[in-house]
Amino acid sequence: MNAQLASAVSVQSEIVEEFSFLGDWTERYQYLIDLGRKLATFPEAWRTEPNRLVGCQSQVWIVPEGDAERLVLHATSDSTIVSGLIALALRVYSGRTAQEILAAEPKYIEAIGLKTHLSPTRSNGLAALLRKIKEYAARADAGERFEAPAA
């Protein structure tokens, strides 16, 4: 395993450990809400149709920035729990190489119980988010460079 993949894996391990300290799903959902509230500011100018994630019941916007060497992802949602799911995904994938993003499977989802505790619509939205992240990574790996729109 290369060092970069280990870092994505270790971040997922940290997430699993954090969730292991939380008792029931009421506490876990509250933690997700808290994480969502701490997402970086997402400029209003980026909340456009081309940046909207299709496949989510909630409104979700995602903007990539960078290239194969370092792909930074900016995202937000109008839902607090979905924002928390975004925060976890960005923690695992944003700021990494395209290769690392493509290689790192989101094992934390099942490990912390999200797979069984999310509603079908939230599960579909999370899957759509992860597909979009992998799509951006594949495009970056193929040589595409992303510029964030002016805020």
Q: How confident is the model over 72-101, as pLDDT tens digits?
A: 999 999 999 999 999 999 999 999 999 999
Q: What is the pLDDT of residues 102-145, one digit of tens each?
A: 999 999 999 999 888 888 888 999 999 999 999 999 999 999 99
User: Would you say residue 150 lies in a domain?
Assistant: no
Residue 79 sits in a domain whose CATH number is: 3.90.1010.10
Structure tokens at 3: 């060092």
User: Would you say residue 41 lies in a domain?
Assistant: yes
User: Would you say residue 110 lies in a domain?
Assistant: yes
Whole domain around residue 130: which residue ranges? 3-141
User: Would you say residue 38 lies in a domain?
Assistant: yes
* 56 is a catalytic site residue: yes
User: Would you say residue 148 lies in a domain?
Assistant: no
Structure tokens at 16: 């699993």
Strand partners of residue 144: none
Phi, psi of 13 (to 5 degrees): -65, -40
The answer for residues whose C-beta is within 8 angstroms of residue 112's C-beta and 6 or more apart is 15, 16, 19, 28
Record the pTM: 0.92
User: Would you say residue 53 lies in a domain?
Assistant: yes
User: Would you say residue 37 lies in a domain?
Assistant: yes
Enclosing H/E stretch for 115: helix 114-117
**For the chain, how many structural domains are there in total?**
1
User: Would you say residue 129 lies in a domain?
Assistant: yes
Q: What is the pLDDT of residues 55-75, one digit of tens each?
A: 878 999 999 999 999 999 999
Catalytic residue among 15, 56, 88, 114: 56
